[in-house]
Structure 1
Amino acid sequence: MLILFGTLALLLVIGMPVALALAGASLAFLVLESPIPPVVLMHRMINGVDSFPLLAVPFFILAGSLMNHAGITDRIFDFARALVGWMRGGLGHVNIGASVLFAGMSGAAVADAGGLGTIEIKAMKEGGYDPDFAVGVTAASSTIGPLIPPSLPLVVYGVVSSASIGQLFAAGLVPGVLMAAALMAMVAWYARVRGYGRDAGFAWAVLGRTFRRAFLSLLTPVIIVGGILAGLFTPTEAAIAACAYALVLGGPVYRTLTLRKIGAISRDTVETTAIVLLIVAAAAIFSWILTSNRVTEMVAEAILSQTQNVVLVLLLINVVLLIVGFFMEPVAAITILTPVLLPVVVELGVDPVHFGIMMVLNLMLGLLTPPVGMVLYVLARVADIRFESAVRATAPFLIPLGAVLALVTYVPAISMWLPELIYR
């Protein structure tokens, strides 16, 4: 194991991409320490992505990109502004509300930050808000996306843990709304301290007009989540339906998508999908080595030999996940750590669906922290500020998100109420 983890650490330190570092460390272990021929590496990597539910990944990526380029983000932002822009610190609340609405389409924090973030930060700067506040609230609100269904990290967790993806989607809804409420409370505090006012008066006429303009766009999460919960289609089929609906909206309805745009969107989707699935494949061989060498069993025994107290074990796991999130992509972390940590929490009576929500929320915080912090890199470029400034701007918003993490961890009903109501 020293060879496996030592090689991984060395490759990451010298700047090797996560997928290549995982595959390289696995290959080094097979060559130096295992009688298994190295060709097994290729077979296990292929098996790692040979999964029907993982087909949802490229289609949700494509759907989110189509929504961005079809002008749907503008309609959602305008509706959110009419809905909550009258509150003090209005555009901060609009930022969060738009992220909640867009979460039902993209399922990825980076897509939210890159798509809505451009509109939100520009509007907040023009509205007289401090750049650090604009970047901080945009970064924090983007983490809501992977909790509110659909969610790419939850799809990957469902595949690795064999948990129901439909139940995971249902379980993420209430924690996602709770995150939005906590962030809005933080925005209200900022507004009071910094003297931010209201950006617009509330008007039923404006609300109605923007709602009608965004209505067809807002049906996207209804189609995705409603179809899954009603049993009309699987999460993979829901992703395909979302793409078809986005093409209809951007084509004959809004007339904003051209063949040239669709070609560019398709190329971007292929590139993003290749990166995600290469990480999944490399993490699959890495986790297979850990499992086949009983590392997962040894970790479980080591933790449970120290304490059987579920409160302490969950606290320890949260700390581990937060630290891992500082340095590793969420998809890779989920694929590697789920086989290691899931047996521990199941032994203590924690539901795998509840643990999945807890794990994804932990790793989303990692997107807001250096050195990986992909959301911070995206928003630093969008806002044209230094990466270090984006880190400082986002740090205060980790407080409400951390409070939600604690609640989700120790109050399972927050995650499990909706799945138990619908499925059990």
Structure 2
Amino acid sequence: MTTISLAFGIALGLITLLAFLGLPMGVSMICGSLVYLFMRGQDPGIVAEQFLNGMYSNYIMLAVPLFILAAEIMNSGTLSDRLLKWCDALVGRFRGGLAQVNVLQSIVFAGMSGSAVADAAGSGKMMQHMMTKDNKYTPSYAAALTAVTAVIGPIIPPSIPMVLYALVADTSIGYLFLGGVVPGLIMAGFMMVLIAITARVKNFPIEPPVPLRQLPKMTWEALPVLMMPVVLMYGIYGGVTTPTEAAAVAAAYALLVSVIFYRAVKMPELYQSLLTSAKTTASIGMLIAGALVFNYVVTIENIPRTISAILLSWDMDPITFLIVVNILLLLLGCVLEGTTILLVIVPVLIPAAQALGIDMVHFGVVAVVNIMLGLITPPYGLLLFIMTRIAKTPMRALISEVLPFLWVLIGALILFTFVPDTVLWLPKMFGYQGVSL
């Protein structure tokens, strides 16, 4: 078992200090890692060259900006509005129907964006207005529901967090995407059941039913939006495109539908979408760069092997290990940003998971679900901050409404942990040779 060197301790302390002082996490990791390299007498230029040589043939990260751009284009037009009207026609007629619409639109939107933040920001304002109009729902409940339904976004493919996990775990993106479908639908189902129960207890309103004769017309109007997940999934699993190429198809399809078919996006909106996508991509890219160089430092220190040896010495079985990982990631999600956990913490746990014979697709989906739940756990729940600004509601009221949904989603996470086939069934249907616990 190795001991942590003084250089690594100083680097880790510097990263923590800079992050505490408000420097972006990616920049903090780069600064701390450079200090480590200088103290160990290593040339940063040679390290950078090794990274570049290893990434010239790796196109996984290209999927990230393309999925972000697709989501931004979708949000800038009337596509979200058409989607919400179609969802309302389906489930709005039931008690608490608007709350059920919120879940249903998140399921469909999840198949287009791959980002929880994009889902919340895209439909958040519209759902908030629809649910609080005429005091049908309290602002805190509407905001809480929008936050928790946005969690589904990165579980159902496409998924930016799963792309990043595939990068650090060297796992098939296609099978990861498939592995997220059933868990995402189960999470949505759990939420819809809770809403149905709450609607009875709190006597939520019933929306005027949309005549069934109008449903075909509304479906036709929303069909281009509804077809985007189908196009993506057929491209990936039909062997037409790679997942990275599918991300490019998603961006092109969003542009085609928004600009040409619906004519809902003009040049100013398109420019703003490109600008926002570039800023978001730069932010994520800096974090990835910092995580990669810091992971290099962690590897030099043999931290993954050391942690793997420690965990294996506890003589844990795979299920116990997954329970420990769940608790660890849920706690870290309360204080750390999700991408940081995915790029820095998860890679350290992967060797131990592999040594215990845990399937990497199962482990990846469980890890991503944990990290997504971190987006709605205080005090660092990013989606909570977003919806607080949108709804202009106190954080305390928002958290109290989120907690019942959080417990339900943790119950779903326990199901995925103990029953791996909830994740692996669909990938195996497409030929995946998974590992059974």
- More displaced stretch, 252-261 vs 105-114: 252-261
Alpha-carbon distance in 2 for matches of 1:45, 1:259 = 38
SS state of the match for residue 349, structure 1? coil
Listed as ranges, the gaps of 5+ residues in structure 1 are none
On the 8 A contact 2:164/2:343 being kept in 1, the answer is: yes
Change (3 A) 1:41 1:384: farther
SS state of the match for residue 334, structure 2? helix
* 1:279 equivalenced with 2:287 (yes/no): yes
| 1:248 alignment counterpart | 256
Change (3 A) 1:37 1:235: same
- More displaced stretch, 134-143 vs 188-197: 188-197
Superposed, 1:260-271 pairs within 5 Å as 260-271=268-279
**1:153 alignment partner, one of 155, 158, 161:** 161
**2:24 alignment partner, one of 17, 22, 39:** 17
| 1:67 alignment counterpart | 74
SS state of the match for residue 111, structure 2? helix
**2:41 alignment partner, one of 13, 17, 35:** 35
| 1:98 alignment counterpart | 105
Question: What is the CA deviation profile of residues 283-322 of structure 1, one whole-angstrom value per residue up to 9, with x for unaligned ones?
Answer: 0111111112110000000011012322221111111111
| 1:317 alignment counterpart | 325
**2:301 alignment partner, one of 283, 288, 293:** 293
**Identical amino acids, percent of aligned pairs:** 36
Superposed, 1:164-313 pairs within 5 Å as 164-201=172-209, 203-313=211-321
* 1:340 equivalenced with 2:360 (yes/no): no
| 1:163 alignment counterpart | 171
Q: Cα offset for 1:47?
A: 6.4
Opposite residue 181 of structure 1, the aligned amino acid is G
| 2:435 alignment counterpart | none
* 1:377 equivalenced with 2:385 (yes/no): yes
Alpha-carbon distance in 1 for matches of 2:325, 2:430 = 29
- More displaced stretch, 41-50 vs 257-266: 41-50
Alpha-carbon distance in 2 for matches of 1:249, 1:155 = 25
**1:86 alignment partner, one of 79, 93, 106:** 93
Superposed, 1:384-423 pairs within 5 Å as 384-423=392-431
SS state of the match for residue 385, structure 1? coil
- More displaced stretch, 3-12 vs 242-251: 3-12
Change (3 A) 1:120 1:288: same
| 2:123 alignment counterpart | 116
SS state of the match for residue 371, structure 1? coil
Alpha-carbon distance in 2 for matches of 1:388, 1:120 = 21
Change (3 A) 1:351 1:252: same
Alpha-carbon distance in 2 for matches of 1:313, 1:147 = 22
On the 8 A contact 2:140/2:393 being kept in 1, the answer is: no
On the 8 A contact 2:140/2:391 being kept in 1, the answer is: no
On the 8 A contact 2:319/2:417 being kept in 1, the answer is: no
On the 8 A contact 1:143/1:365 being kept in 2, the answer is: yes
- More displaced stretch, 130-139 vs 390-399: 390-399
On the 8 A contact 1:167/1:423 being kept in 2, the answer is: no
Alpha-carbon distance in 1 for matches of 2:206, 2:248 = 40
Question: What is the CA deviation profile of residues 146-175 of structure 1, one whole-angstrom value per residue up to 9, with x for unaligned ones?
Answer: 010100000111111110000001000000
Alpha-carbon distance in 1 for matches of 2:140, 2:52 = 44
Alpha-carbon distance in 1 for matches of 2:151, 2:229 = 17
Opposite residue 411 of structure 2, the aligned amino acid is A
Question: What is the CA deviation profile of residues 362-420 of structure 1, one whole-angstrom value per residue up to 9, with x for unaligned ones?
Answer: 00011112333221111111111233433333222101110111111111000000001
Task: Extract structure 1 runs of 4+ deviating beyond 4 A.
Answer: 40-50
Opposite residue 400 of structure 1, the aligned amino acid is V
Please tell me the root mean square deviation across aligned C-alpha atoms, in Å: 1.7
On the 8 A contact 1:27/1:41 being kept in 2, the answer is: no
Q: Cα offset for 1:23?
A: 1.5
TM-score (ref. length: structure 1) = 0.96
* 1:4 equivalenced with 2:11 (yes/no): yes
Q: Cα offset for 1:341?
A: 0.8
Q: Cα offset for 1:271?
A: 0.5
Listed as ranges, the gaps of 5+ residues in structure 2 are 1-7, 433-437
On the 8 A contact 1:49/1:281 being kept in 2, the answer is: no
Alpha-carbon distance in 2 for matches of 1:18, 1:379 = 23
On the 8 A contact 1:45/1:281 being kept in 2, the answer is: no
- More displaced stretch, 377-386 vs 20-29: 20-29
Change (3 A) 1:41 1:16: farther
Alpha-carbon distance in 2 for matches of 1:39, 1:387 = 46
On the 8 A contact 2:168/2:343 being kept in 1, the answer is: yes
Alpha-carbon distance in 2 for matches of 1:316, 1:40 = 37
Alpha-carbon distance in 2 for matches of 1:16, 1:236 = 31
On the 8 A contact 1:18/1:328 being kept in 2, the answer is: no
Alpha-carbon distance in 1 for matches of 2:81, 2:167 = 34
Question: What is the CA deviation profile of residues 27-50 of structure 1, one whole-angstrom value per residue up to 9, with x for unaligned ones?
Answer: 232233x12134456446656865
| 2:5 alignment counterpart | none
